[in-house]
Amino acid sequence: MIVFLYGPDSYRRSRNESALLAKYRTEHSALSIGYFDAYDYKDEENESAAWDAVRDFVKNRSLFDDKKLAVFRAREEKVFIKEEIKFLKDFSTRKDAMLFLSTNSAPLQPFAFLLTAPIQSYEFKELSGIPLRNFVQGEARRRGLVISEQGRARLVAEYRGDTWGLMTEMDRLALSSARDFVSSRVTPEDFIGTVKKLAYGHGGSAISALERALHNEDSARLFNVLTGFVSGEKKRLMADYDAKIKFGTLDYESALTDFVLSS
């Protein structure tokens, strides 16, 4: 089985990938996940070594593996080297392993089969116009904000093509007293209290607070807001988590759990 995620909007692509990974973790209790990145290799001639690592990961199974899931970040534009066409076509019908492929670009013609069944493909174009304004409205609602029409237009104009920057700005607005974009706020008062428990608490109380928060809140929002409350070593720790999340080796829920357990 192959899941192919492509397109320049890395924020929505990353969020969708995290949601799918969480889904498969729930469905397969003994799921073994491996992360691979073509950018770890200096040139395309060595890129085949990355695919060799994927093959070795899938082939080497233990008694405790339910399924293998390889997450591969491909190079831009060329997407994959031609030698892997047969491997990918064969992999697309496998039942014992899954492959998540992620790249900024649509595949070139030799890899057009990645857009057809049985492969599950998801495109993440850069949003513009009405779809982008609707996306901003939905993300604002998730953060408990009601943003005026003029405010949405300003956000869209300032952050067009930079979804990560847009989401960071909306998280800042959710915490600030700024009124330039926001017409009203409906953030539950206990959300900030929960974030403070995660930022400053420890032990069982912090773990319980996280469990309740993950049940009721979006993990990405929780992570981004928490980052604004911590300082010092905790701030550096959150920066490390953020890099791993954007790289694709960690998801928000796992990062939050590790943060609380290490506090």
Tell me the pLDDT tens digit for each residue of 134-151: 888 888 888 888 787 877
Q: Where are the alpha helices (DSSP H) in the chain?
A: 10-27, 47-59, 85-91, 129-142, 149-158, 163-175, 189-200, 203-216, 219-227, 232-247, 252-262
End-to-end CA distance of the chain: 38
DSSP 12: H
Bridge partners, 123 (sequence order): 6
Q: What is the pLDDT of residue 190?
A: 66
Q: Cis bond leading into 118, ω under 30°?
A: yes
Q: What is the pLDDT of residue 78?
A: 54
Query: Stretch 83-102: mean pLDDT, rounded?
Result: 89
Q: Which domains does the chain have, with CATH numbers?
A: 2-123 (3.40.50.12060), 129-185 (no CATH), 189-262 (no CATH)
Nearest CA-CA partner of 138 in 257, 221, 55, 208: 221
Tell me the pLDDT tens digit for each residue of 17-34: 888 888 888 887 778 888
Tell me the one-letter amino acid at 254. S
Q: Is 229 a residue whose pLDDT tops 90?
A: no
**d(C-alpha 207, C-alpha 55), whole Å:** 38
Q: Is 185 a residue whose pLDDT tops 50?
A: no
Query: Stretch 120-126: mean pLDDT, rounded?
Result: 93
DSSP 41: S
Confidence band for 117, pLDDT divided at 50, 70 and 90: very high
Q: Is 41 a residue whose pLDDT tops 70?
A: no
**d(C-alpha 261, C-alpha 263), whole Å:** 6
Confidence band for 224, pLDDT divided at 50, 70 and 90: confident
Distances (CA, A) of 97 to 49, 83, 91: 20, 20, 8
Q: Is 97 a residue whose pLDDT tops 70?
A: yes
**d(C-alpha 84, C-alpha 55), whole Å:** 11
Average pLDDT of the residues of the chain: 81
